[in-house]
């Protein structure tokens, strides 16, 4: 059974700092990996999707990397802003019998201090 772990569980940084969020998974036979953002009491917003054949994806100040063989992904946030404060969730995707499912980590709660 796939297990997804995110470290740290919470992180507080001053505004402007670059930071890295970590995600690890136990089964390397993944289809893809997605990073989401969740604001308090809200639904999830997709940030980046990395296919299993890719090494990284970039969107603005966000860069996600994937090392499938070692079961790791990182989300790099450059020049952090208070508006980046949220919980970031990593989810590993698997395909089988025409279906696609995600297994989620518990998230990293990020606070960016002005």
Partner 1 sequence: DGGITQSPKYLFRKEGQNVTLSCEQNLNHDAMYWYRQDPGQGLRLIYYSQIVNDFQKGDIAEGYSVSREKKESFPLTVTSAQKNPTAFYLCASTPRQGAGETQYFGPGTRLLVL
Scanning 14-22, 37-45, 57-65, 69-77 for contacts with partner 1 by CB under 8 A, the matching segment is 37-45
β-strands 72-77, 19-25 pairing: antiparallel
Asked if residue 99 binds partner 1 (CB under 8 A), the reply is: yes
Taking Cα atoms as reference points, which of 57, 61, 46, 53 lies closest to residue 91? Answer: 46
> Rule CB under 8 A: is residue 91 a binding residue for partner 1?
yes
Q: Is 95 in the site for partner 1 (CB under 8 A)?
A: yes
Total residues at interface with partner 1 (CB under 8 A): 28
Q: Which is nearer to partner 1, 86 or 91 (CB)?
A: 91
Minimum separation from the CB atom of position 104 to partner 1 (A): 3
43 binds partner 1 (CB under 8 A): yes
Binding flag, residue 32, partner 1 (CB under 8 A)? yes
> Among the residues of 1-114, which ranges form H helices?
none
> Can residue 108 be called a binding residue for partner 1 (CB under 8 A)?
no
Task: Give the count of beta carbons closer than 10 Å to the beta carbon of residue 94.
Answer: 16
CB nearer partner 1, residue 13 or residue 44: 44
Of 79, 75, 65, nearest in space to 108 by CA: 75
- Taking the CA atoms of residue 46, residue 9, residue 105 and residue 15 in that order, the dihedral angle to the nearest 10 degrees is 10
């Amino acid at each position: 059974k796939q297990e997804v772990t995110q470290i740290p569980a919470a992180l507080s940084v001053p505004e402007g700092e670059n930071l890295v969020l970590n995600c690890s998974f136990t089964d390397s036979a993944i289809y893809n990996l997605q990073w989401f953002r969740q604001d308090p009491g809200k639904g999830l917003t997709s940030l980046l999707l990395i296919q299993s054949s890719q090494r990284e994806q970039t969107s603005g100040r966000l860069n996600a990397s994937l090392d499938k063989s070692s079961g790791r992904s990182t989300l790099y946030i450059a020049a952090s802003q208070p508006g980046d404060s949220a919980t970031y969730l990593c989810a590993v995707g698997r395909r089988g019998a025409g279906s696609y499912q995600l297994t989620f980590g518990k998230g990293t709660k990020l606070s960016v201090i002005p």
